[in-house]
Amino acid sequence: MKNLLVLVVLVVLGAVLHKAFLSDRPLVRVSTGQFANPYPPSSELHAQHQAFVDAANADEKLRERFAGTFTSKGLYAELKLALSRGAQTLDAGTLVNATRAMAAVIPRLPEASCAKLIRPADDFDPELGQDVRDAFERLPARHHRNFLDFYLKALKAEVHGAPVVRVDKEVSQRALRHLGEAYPGDFGRRLEAVLRDPVRAADEDACWAINSMTHTSTQLDDESAEAMSRLIWGGGG
């Protein structure tokens, strides 16, 4: 079960999220200490991203945090830190809604890119990054709003030092057990085969595994779904 946790964390936090932000077409742009809207006013996505930008720029401490010049890898580290802080501090509804948004992205990816998510790879895969951004842009508006809400709250939690929510390790272990119980018989054997050797797994099987695991984590009982979201977004710690 520990291997399952590590794979979910690496996929959702490392491979998917940051590629959507660090690119020539980021979902959110940071330039000289100001957050900027990457979409033109004619875009259907402009309004909800502008709401994020306005709220972020209205927070003085948040602007100060990004006032310097960041390399791509430096910004990646900042974003990862903020998401981890969000996982430790935000309410269950915000976290689970963000996981549901990511669960909606994965089935919108081409199979070859979807399969990459479960395999060891460079953090900055431009082809996968492009496919992830395209998938984000096809999401229903509610998923965009939920993810941007989570991301803004996570950034604010980091810069303002929000108090950490106590996590019960028994609840986390129970959530992982419940996730594993969702894969009996042939489903479990298929998943185990992918996890044992994701590099050699067929694209169809690899894509099914990450798509299914991410979606299933949001369909558990409320306590377990929250625990899984905290583990996923927090890097497993």
Q: What is the pLDDT of residue 197?
A: 85
Strands (E), 105-161: none
DSSP 140: -
The domain locations on the chain are: 2-234
**pLDDT band per the 50, 70, 90 thresholds, residue 38:** confident
* pLDDT for residue 124 is more than 50: yes
Q: Is the pLDDT of residue 25 over 70?
A: no
pLDDT of 14 strictly over 60: no
Arithmetic mean of pLDDT, 144-152: 90
C-alpha triplet 124, 127, 128: angle, nearest 5°: 70
- Greatest mean pLDDT among 8-12, 123-127, 136-140 lies in 136-140
d(CA 50, CA 184): 45
What value does the mean pLDDT take over residues 120-136? Answer: 77
Return mean pLDDT, the chain: 81
pLDDT at 231: 82
Arithmetic mean of pLDDT, 132-149: 89
Q: What is the pLDDT of residue 156?
A: 92
Kindly tell me if the per-residue pLDDT of 227 is higher than 50: yes
What is the pLDDT, as a whole number, of residue 144? 87
Q: Three-class SS of residue 46? A: helix
Say what the pLDDT of residue 71 is: 61
Q: What was the pLDDT predicted at 5?
A: 43
pLDDT tens string 187-208 = 988 988 888 888 899 999 999 9
Between 195 and 56, the more confident residue is: 56
Residue 83: band (very low, low, confident or very high) from pLDDT cuts 50, 70, 90: confident
Q: Is the pLDDT of residue 19 over 70?
A: no
Alpha-carbon distance of 136 to 106, in angstroms, equals 9
Can you read off the two tokens belonging to residue 230? 């905290």
> Which pLDDT band holds residue 236 (cuts at 50, 70, 90)?
low
* CA 102 – CA 82 distance, rounded (Å): 17
The CA distance from 86 to 125, in Å, is 25
CA pair distance 26, 29, nearest whole angstrom: 6
Residue among 148, 135, 139, 160 at smallest CA distance from 51: 148
pLDDT for position 54: 93
Which pLDDT score is estimated for 22?
46
> Which residue did the predictor score with more confidence, 1 or 210?
210
Arithmetic mean of pLDDT, 35-56: 89
CB 118 within 8 A of CB 11: yes
pLDDT the model gives residue 172 = 85
